[in-house]
């Protein structure tokens, strides 16, 4: 008798569980798919949807770079090479080259953390496909650029103010350790 009860119970369990399972999958059938149809058929590019702290390909704003070489020194795999020349007559120091090899970069973020002005930073760009490795070396200097020197009484040029503020804001968001107020830790919660 108990065998018969078990038998009928098995049949009933099979039918009811399949019924319930079919209901679950049908409810998923009418839900919006999670897929983001990269790279097209989305409202705005993926780059614009990424958070500020996203570690994309490195970019340098040479207008606010002091040429302290901290990034070059801290980089564990020396993918950053900076050349600085001094003009003998004007005593003006300027960049001769500032290259970042994206092939080597491991996106650790140490250079962006240590930069005093926030001029080197991770962009939201991540599409680096290219036909040969040489194309992945980013050259930021096309003609010699003078080094940035912070003015004593603060910036006066409006364009420079926004650039400096942007750099400091990036530093605040990206490089500030988690314990500090207003840093990245607060944003993530």
Residues in contact with another protein, counted by CB under 8 A, come to a total of: 22
136, 104 Cβ separation under 8 angstroms = no
Instruction: Give me the least distance between CB of 27 and another protein, in Å please.
Output: 4
The mark string for 7-26 relative to another protein (x by CB under 8 A, - otherwise) is: ---xx--x---xxxxxxxxx
- Let me know the angle formed at the C-alpha of 123 by 60 and 70, rounded to the nearest 5 degrees: 40
Kindly tell me which of 24 and 129 has the beta carbon lying closer to another protein: 24
Q: Which residue has the tokens 């009860």?
A: 5
- The closest of 7, 107, 127, 4 to 55, measured between CA atoms, is 107
Instruction: Give me the least distance between CB of 43 and another protein, in Å please.
Output: 14
**What is the DSSP track for 121-163?**
EE-S------SSGGGGEEE--SS-EEPP---TT---SHHHHHH
Binding-site member from 29, 89, 154, 156 for another protein (CB under 8 A)? 29
Interacting positions 143-172 with another protein (CB under 8 A): none
The two three-digit tokens of residue 85, written as one number: 């020349």
Kindly tell me which of 10 and 162 has the beta carbon lying closer to another protein: 10
Binding-site member from 3, 4, 5, 37 for another protein (CB under 8 A)? 37
* Contact residues for another protein, defined by CB under 8 A: 10-11, 14, 18-35, 37
């Amino acid at each position: 008798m108990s065998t018969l009860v078990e038998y009928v119970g098995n049949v009933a369990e099979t039918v009811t569980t399949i019924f319930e399972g079919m209901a679950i999958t049908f409810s998923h059938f009418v839900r919006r798919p999670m897929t983001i149809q990269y790279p097209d058929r989305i409202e705005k590019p993926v780059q614009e949807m990424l958070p500020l702290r996203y570690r994309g390909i490195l970019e340098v704003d040479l207008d606010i770079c002091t040429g302290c070489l901290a990034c070059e020194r801290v980089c564990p795999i020396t993918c950053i090479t900076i050349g600085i020349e001094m003009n003998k007559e004007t005593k003006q120091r300027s960049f001769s080259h500032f290259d970042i090899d994206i092939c080597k970069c491991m996106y650790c973020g140490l250079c962006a953390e240590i930069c005093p002005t926030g001029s080197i930073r991770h962009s939201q760009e991540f599409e680096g496909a290219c036909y040969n490795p040489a194309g992945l070396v980013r050259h930021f200097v096309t003609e010699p650029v003078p080094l940035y020197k912070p003015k004593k009484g603060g910036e006066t040029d409006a364009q420079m103010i926004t650039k400096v503020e942007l750099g400091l804001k990036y530093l605040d968001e990206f490089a500030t350790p988690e314990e500090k107020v207003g840093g990245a830790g607060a944003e993530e919660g």
